Structure 1
Amino acid sequence: MSLKEPPETPDRLIALVPAAGVGSRALRAHDAPIPKQYRLLAGQAMLRRTVQALLAEVRIDEVRVSVAPEDDQAAEVLEGLPRVVCVPCGGETRAQTVYNALCDAQLAAQDWVLVHDAARPGLPVEALSRLIDACIPNGVGGLLALPVPDTVKRARTSATMPSGIAAVETTVTRERLWLAQTPQMFRAGLLRSALARSLVNAEKAEQPPTDEAQAMEAAGYAPLLVPGSGRNSKITWPDDFEWVESWL
């Protein structure tokens, strides 16, 4: 019995990993000021584990890691991994970093780009493959995401509340709400144009998009929501490291 061949990818498929930030929310008061992508998870830097998760999908031609111009750790952390390029083109925001990386890669408009958070080292290859399979026939693209399982509260704004504590303003229905994950996969030309537009708007005091799908939405597209995985959660807070290490 022959194994089922994966769907053919007609154009190049490139993964971009923006890793120019420091992740200050992941630090405790006594922690050394190490950017969170270089913190160790079960003996390996988180960034290396994240890149390895992308390399598990053989249809990805190349993984391009975008770091700050002064970064001197990425090359050593990623040494020996195949199909990996480290590019010092990080910007002040995620949107700027991804846009810079797209320009640096010099991709054809019809090529596919997968943008993945450096802080999601637990990406299962099954979820990654599911995203690629869903997006290729769609033509525009989409993102991994999970339906919101919990009751959602919106907090009141109050300057008198202690740090980290808020009062409930209202309960928000979770119907049709999804939690966005990465990778987020789009045609390179469409994403490049959408991000360029968002960066121009940001210069006019509008908030830059917090992910690529938001930039695509603002450009008039409706990205697909493809079921992701609980193991693909983003490491954001100090306790997240211990949780992810427990199953790596």
Structure 2
Amino acid sequence: MNIPDLPFFWAVIPAAGIGSRMRADRPKQYLPLGGRTILEHTLDCFHGHPRLKGLAVSLAQDDPYWSRLPCAADERILRAAGGRERADSVFNALQLLAARGADAADWVLVHDAARPNLARVDLDRLLAELADDPLGGLLAVPARDTLKRADADGRVRETVDRSTIWQAYTPQMFRLGALRQALDDALRAGVAITDESSAMEWAGYAPRLIEGRADNLKITRPEDLLWLQQVWTRKR
């Protein structure tokens, strides 16, 4: 893609979670992968991009791991306060970016801290496809498997039509002002927000889906990390 045609953007990485399903001795974003932490690889997905204006990482107040990383001394990375939930962490990061000069109309890309396998081609496709979109959207992948809806007893209630079902990935790309307002309103209303798109949806918008690669995996369980380690080993 022609880089000059891509919009400038800010990046936000919410990294205050503990990742309990990994059953590890530390938050999953700090687990080792290829000689570095998962979080460092995730940051590298954005560092060096010629359209990146700045990057904010939301971290838990008592995080003892961040300061040990070489990137903690990188002045290009802003540290925002992590919150109780992902939405709180993202909102705090948006507030920080605005205080540092980001405009309400600027694009912001929010990306999972434990999603280190984002391909540059996907990042650039998202930027290119949404550059002139009035709202924004997210990377996603159409559902491939047959989907079942379960009842309270764990039995199949029905088979869901997968033709209209997508898996939501990140980055998710929205204007700073609109996303900040949607998150603020949803948090005040006590609405459960699982990603940035759900905040925008609750505010009455319809974000656009941009198909990305299925290997943009979010590391959630031990087998996810093992799979990614094996994939990266074969590439080297």
Q: TM-score when scaled to structure 1?
A: 0.87
In structure 2, distance between residues paired with 1:13 and 1:119? 20
Contact in 2 for aligned 1:91/1:97 (Cα 8 Å): yes
Contact in 2 for aligned 1:120/1:233 (Cα 8 Å): yes
Q: Calculate the aligned-residue CA RMSD, in Å.
A: 1.8
Q: Superposition pairs for residues 1-248 of structure 1, below 5 Å?
A: 4-9=2-7, 12-27=8-23, 31=24, 33-79=25-71, 84-106=76-98, 107-158=102-153, 166-202=154-190, 206=191, 208-248=192-232
Structure 1: where are the runs of 5+ without partners?
159-165
In structure 2, distance between residues paired with 1:78 and 1:219? 39
In structure 2, distance between residues paired with 1:111 and 1:34? 34
State the number of aligned residues.
Answer: 229
In structure 2, distance between residues paired with 1:237 and 1:199? 28
In structure 2, distance between residues paired with 1:77 and 1:184? 26
Contact in 1 for aligned 2:41/2:116 (Cα 8 Å): yes
Q: CA deviation at 1:79?
A: 2.2
Higher mean alpha-carbon deviation, 130-139 vs 14-23, is at 130-139
In structure 2, distance between residues paired with 1:193 and 1:80? 29
In structure 1, distance between residues paired with 2:155 and 2:193? 27
In structure 2, distance between residues paired with 1:4 and 1:13? 16
Q: Deviations over 1:183-238 (max 9, x none)?
A: 00000000000001100111xxx4x2100001111112111100111121111111
Richer in helix (by share): 2
**Identity %, equivalent residues:** 41
In structure 1, distance between residues paired with 2:3 and 2:122? 17
SS at match of 1:143: strand
In structure 1, distance between residues paired with 2:221 and 2:156? 22
Q: CA deviation at 1:87?
A: 1.3
Which stretches of structure 1, 4 residues or longer, exceed 4 Å deviation after superposition? 80-83
- Amino acid in structure 2 at the alignment position of 1:7: D
Q: Deviations over 1:1-60 (max 9, x none)?
A: xx9443152xx5110000001100112xxx4x2110000012110000000012253211
